[in-house]
Amino acid sequence: MIVGNMKESEKFVPSDIELSEQMAITQEDAEKDSSLLSGSSLIFLANIIISLTGFVLAGILMHNMPDYVYGMARTLQRAVAISTTIVLNGLGNALAVHLSEKRGEPQQTSILIIATTILSIFVGMLFAIGFFFVIKYLFKTDISTFLTDIEVLLSLFLVFPAAFLVSAFNHALLGLKRVKENAIAVAIQSIGNLAFTTLFVYLGSQTFSVIFGLGVASLLSIFYSLFCLRKQLFAFIKRKKPFRNLWKSYKELRVLLSFSSPLTIAAICSQAIEGVTILIILIYFNWGHVALVQLAYFNYVLMLVIACRIPQISIGKMLLPHLKEYTLNDAKKQLHRAIRFLLFIIIPLNLFVGLFSKELLQLLAIIIRSKGFWLESGEITITALLQLLTIGGQSAAIYYLLVSSCVPLKHPEINAKIEFAGLVANVFLILYFLPSYGIRGVGFAYLISYTFMLIYAIISMALNQIIRAQSIFEILGTTIVVNAILLLNYFIKFALLWRILITAGTLALCFLVIIRINKKDVILTLNLIKHALGRKGKQEQL
């Protein structure tokens, strides 16, 4: 019996070769996980810079502009951002995925980058012309006071191609796994935008100061990106008959466009949600002063909500090239860990913003001291809108992380279908709620539509077997709890002490009961912090 047991146990003793193979696999996984952590940390820091410079810039603009001028200026700025995402998000993600597969081949990567560059400039000029006519007929009175038509057109020819090129180069750097350079390029554009927009504000450009500032800042970011991509650019120039290779780059561009078509549809629908919202507000309030004031409220609150989505943006960008390196089962495990980590961050963040929104906005109003004190006069409306958009933001952050993973998991069509359904639902909901609740109706519409999109995404991913059942339970459990608490606070208005106690209880319920944090979660969080500080953490697998 003893001999038999010994022989039986010997079957489970791995050989030296098997042990070395397991160690090699573990080391490889650890390096990939370290890459995800360090990359997410850098993108996180870059997005922190974007938010901080955005807050400072918003304070400067609100301090020097009446509410309706601020509404117009921010709407112009958001229009550029929306246009950039529509054109470059799908193509840029496709570029990042393809470059991640060919980053060891400078000549192949150079063709892809050149093709995207040419398209960005061409489409940017078309958008500039189209946007010029929109501005001329919608905002003619304001712009004609300090700019001629030629000056407006030239400034748009600067900002649109430049913004498109920045997005293209940022995706290229991300696809080449040059995350540090990508973060620096983003920081250059953000800090430059703050500096030059402030300069143009004090020079008297008023509404168009945001366009001038963004254009100049984008040029600085482009120069830095060109320096970082000089190896790929020189490889294209050194090729024999480089101009004939433009035709080859056109063929590569067709491949990218074919791959990115569902991503582009998804980007159009995603940004159209915000764009159509702005358009409906303008139409409903007759394109007048009241409409611009409502847009001022909406853009101010949206800035705060987008800041709360920094963790999702940071992790989502790194997941795009990261999940390509894993098999399906391992990729599902990586996605599960990314979802858990995102929940650790956004749950306390959204609880704080949603439950203490009034105190937060009062603090910001004191700091900014807007011209005419329009923040104080719209405090009730802004507070209610922030509470509602924060509830929708809880669902939106998880939803966008999920659909970001659908691209490397080879199901980009899921993103396109859900975004289109969400766009249609959001339009009808806004049209239903806006007449009864005013600008707060937009908050109700966003809340319902993003909850619907999250559930749709979970069902689609479950049917395609690209998400774990445990991930579904944790997402639905925490989302229901957090959104229920925030909704109750919106209608009941809890006292300050009750809100503090409710926050502590909700965090305990989510983290200890639903998610059930463990040692690996703590190590992952500590590693991310250490990577953000430039130190190496424990090589703990995600």
Q: What is the pLDDT of residues 177-193, one digit of tens each?
A: 788 888 899 889 989 98
Closest CA to 192 of 212, 176, 214, 210: 214
Confidence band for 5, pLDDT divided at 50, 70 and 90: very low
Confidence band for 20, pLDDT divided at 50, 70 and 90: very low
pLDDT of 79: 82
pLDDT of 369: 62
* Three-class DSSP category at 466: coil
**In b/e form, how buried is each residue of 161-173, taking b as 16+ CB within 10 angstroms?**
bbbbbbbbbbbbb
Confidence band for 475, pLDDT divided at 50, 70 and 90: very high
Tell me the C-alpha distance between 183 and 43, whole Å.
Answer: 6
Q: Which residue has the higher pLDDT, 211 or 204?
A: 211
Residues 6+ apart with CB under 8 A from 490: 384, 387, 388, 391
pLDDT of 25: 42
pLDDT of 495: 93
pLDDT at 290 over 70: yes
pLDDT of 473: 95
pLDDT of 463: 92
Q: For 146-151, what is the mean pLDDT?
A: 69
pLDDT of 247: 61
Report the percentage of the chain scoring pLDDT > 70. 74
Q: Which residue has the higher pLDDT, 515 or 373?
A: 515
Closest CA to 457 of 510, 400, 514: 400
Closest CA to 311 of 96, 535, 41, 515: 41
Confidence band for 241, pLDDT divided at 50, 70 and 90: low
Lowest mean pLDDT among 17-21, 47-51, 200-204: 17-21
Q: Which residue has the higher pLDDT, 230 or 68?
A: 230
Tell me the C-alpha distance between 391 and 385, whole Å.
Answer: 10
pLDDT of 534: 52
pLDDT of 2: 44
Tell me the C-alpha distance between 155 and 147, whole Å.
Answer: 10
Q: For 520-531, what is the mean pLDDT?
A: 65
> In this structure, are residues 195 and 182 in contact, taking their beta carbons and an 8 Å threshold?
no
pLDDT at 537 over 60: no
Strand (E) or helix (H) holding 107: helix 106-138
Confidence band for 147, pLDDT divided at 50, 70 and 90: low
Lowest mean pLDDT among 29-33, 54-58, 60-64, 470-474: 29-33
* Three-class DSSP category at 148: coil
Give the model confidence (pLDDT) of 116-137 as tens digits. 888 888 888 998 898 888 777 7
Tell me the C-alpha distance between 114 and 250, whole Å.
Answer: 9
Give the model confidence (pLDDT) of 482-503 as tens digits. 999 999 999 998 999 999 999 9
* Three-class DSSP category at 184: helix
SS (H, E, C) 409-455: CCCHHHHHHHHHHHHHHHHHHHHHHHHHHCCHHHHHHHHHHHHHHHH
Give the model confidence (pLDDT) of 78-87 as tens digits. 888 888 877 6
Closest CA to 120 of 74, 152, 85: 85
pLDDT of 470: 92
Q: What is the pTM of this model?
A: 0.77
